[in-house]
Amino acid sequence: MITKNIDVNTLMTSSGVRFGTSGVRGLVESMTDEVCYAYTAAFLQEVVEKSGVVDKVILGHDLRPSSPHIASVCAAAITDNGGHVVYAGALPTPTLACYAQHQRAAAIVITGSHIPFDRNGIKFYGLQGEISKADELAMQQAIVNLPDALCMQLPPADGKVEAYYIKRYVDFFGDANLTGLRVAIYQHSSVARDLLRAILVSLGVEVVTLGRTQEFVPIDTEAVRAEDVIQASNWAKEHNFDAIFSTDGDADRPLIGDELGHWMRGDMVGILCAKYLAADVVVTPVSSSSLTEQSTWFSQVVRTKIGSPYVIAAMEQTLAQKDSLIVGFEANGGFLLGRDVMRGGKKLEALATRDAVLPMLAVLAMARVQGCKVSELVASLSSRYTFSDRLQNFPKEQSSALLTLFQYDAARAQLIMAPEAGGIVSIDITDGFRVSFSSGDIVHLRPSGNAPELRCYAEADTPEHAQSLCAHCLQRVTTMFD
């Protein structure tokens, strides 16, 4: 076998395939066999080998057209580096991470999550779980060997991976009295579309499946498309369900709607799930709603930069300090469980990676316990609303220049972000540029870590005002660069 040495950092620069908030991402045309093999080899060499021996690696992917081939390249790299491939097929990211944790194995997931299908990515899980920013840096600096043959035929999918994850939730929520509920699943191209149905049916839920497609649909749970807002409302009138569920492409972010077809914000879902589990400490990014603190449901709220590695790092630090139930969630709704939960003699094991299924089942169970509709759970929270949207195809260089300008010119920042919101009360640069105004409004600008996009998060006392703040801010930013 002919091999050559390759510097991952050089390859990263030349290809443009870089680490984002979770894993590496890039254009499909840039994710060549060489690039994907090199990143996988670097992961095995710099992360897995340094915490143990490369044994079995759980490998799976989402439903993007490009994902199976990239998986075949990763499989070759695993095999060449002395590992055994446990191929799981097309399954949600948390399903693969959960089984890898159970097996004390590494995992690799081929997914671009919610970004358009002309892009893709690879997520890595070491023996301790999702890789850290320090792990990313070590992989970046690695030098790896590339053989002449960079891909292989994938083995048959191992059904035990999916079965283990289904059992996890059917066992824990088996006594939650969900029988008789009617739930719609907006399937689109979510990799969880069949697995989610299997879980709900096993719990006695009547399931209606809607919107299945063979074409990839980039569902972003932080910026729900206008057509999906309208469609969910129409489906609610037609199908008379108690809730509607969906996810992003790799199903680590939930999209939950009430009986009226109104999509719930991800941070609202996170707050409700944390309350249902009786969490003591919540770790969440700075972009999540301030209702987390205002609810007074939790003894401590820890704020982080945006991205699951930062949430996980803060959870680990808090776990070392406190003997209490610690959970994390992101504004996109992905929920992380820091410690095992015991309820009714049943244990739900910790899973410190974003998960979509736990918050879905928690919302249903919470509504049943309280004897109310899902919409009433949200109504029980204070009147505080968030909204987010993004400018697509907005180069990161422009985002950086804009936020640098705002740091040195607060008056300009106020003029662009929310001139109608009163004076600036505080500025938070934990991640991007977040401004609290005297009116109580909050506007936050931040470049995406996954794609050339500028994201805007707004918070206000009405949903309409939050949406207006976001739309007008992005419109003024657009005008700046026209």
In angstroms, the Cα distances linking 141 to 8, 45, 417, 456 are: 6, 11, 38, 33
Distance CA 256, CA 333 (A): 9
Phi, psi at residue 245, to the nearest 5°? -120, 145
- Please give the Cα distance from 218 to 207 (Å, whole number): 23
The three-class DSSP label of residue 380 is coil
DSSP-derived 3-state class of residue 286? coil
Inter-residue contact 459 to 384 (CB < 8 Å): yes
From the list 456, 303, 472, 474, the residue with the least C-alpha distance to 387 is: 456
CA angle 419, 422, 424 (to 5 degrees): 95
Decide: 313 and 326 in contact? Cβ < 8 Å.
Answer: no
CA distance 4 to 251: 37
Q: Which of 342, 45, 61, 51 is nearest to 191 (CA)?
A: 61
Please name which of 33, 32, 14, 12 lies closest in space to residue 24, comparing C-alpha atoms.
12
Respond yes or no: is residue 113 known to be catalytic. yes
Q: β-pairing, 119-126 with 106-110?
A: antiparallel
> In 288-355, which ranges are E strands?
300-304, 326-329, 335-337, 341-343, 346-348, 351-355
Q: Tell me which of 113, 287, 295, 388 is the catalytic residue.
A: 113
Residues with catalytic annotation?
A: 113
